[in-house]
Structure 1
Amino acid sequence: MKLDKVHNKSKRIMKKLYLGEFAVFGFEVTFKVKVANDVEFDAFIDDIIEVVESRNLIAGGGGTLNDYSLFLCGDGRYSSASESDRAYMKNWLEINACSNSIVIGDLVDGYYGV
């Protein structure tokens, strides 16, 4: 199916396929973690989880003590991440002493990657 042909689909089909107004957007976050040991790493990950949940987002991904990558999107069925979520995550990671080399991706379709 070509995603640029959504205008000829019924609203019901667009909803089932997460197209058009029902598209769910998210963004990727990659960064390097600088901690001394596994205990600090676990505490840092707990902090990230708390921040993500406080923004009503969900995250998938993972990494190692050096490199970490997450994809974040809204936690509701048709909810999306926003530009303010991107800015908040970037700011939070920049002021956190445990992360550096932060790259925040653009908002993309969470189902089709467009």
Structure 2
Amino acid sequence: MKINKLENKSKRLRKKLYLGEFATFGFHANCQLDADLGGDFDTFLDDIIRFIESRNLIAGGGGSPEEMSLFLCSNQRYGSATQDDRAALQQWLERHEKVSEADVGELVDANYQA
């Protein structure tokens, strides 16, 4: 069975497989940091977690005081991250004092990435 083909798949199956109208989208975010291992990095982590939760998103990934790589998607079961979420994170990262460089990727299917 080819996952990406929608024809001959019932609504129930599309929902189970997160296909078609049930697809969920997220995006990657990478940033370079100027933080030390102590308080600076901990403060940055607290700040970004607070921001992510305020947008009703969840994130997976990690990093170090030099760089961070995350994948973000909606906290809702069939919800998706939006272009507004991407733009807001890009602006937030560019304004944060500990971030020296930021790159926020395009929306991609969170379940079927290439």
Normalising by the residue count of structure 1, what TM-score does the alignment of the two structures yield?
0.95
Aligned to 2:90: 90
- The runs of 5 or more residues in structure 2 that have no matched partner are none
Aligned to 2:49: 49
Aligned to 1:25: 25
CA contact (8 A) 2:24 2:80 kept: yes
Q: Distance in 2 between matches of 1:4 and 1:61?
A: 26
CA contact (8 A) 2:36 2:65 kept: no
CA RMSD of aligned residues (A): 1.1
Q: Distance in 2 between matches of 1:48 and 1:10?
A: 40
Write out the 4+ residue segments of structure 1 that deviate beyond 6 Å after TM superposition: none
Q: 1:53 Cα deviation (Å)? A: 0.3
Aligned to 1:6: 6
| 1:108 and 2:78 correspond | no
Aligned to 2:59: 59
Q: Which amino acid aligns with 2:95?
A: I
Q: Distance in 1 between matches of 2:83 and 2:7?
A: 26
Q: 1:67 Cα deviation (Å)? A: 1.2
Normalising by the residue count of structure 2, what TM-score does the alignment of the two structures yield?
0.95
Q: Work out the percentage of aligned pairs sharing the same amino acid.
A: 51
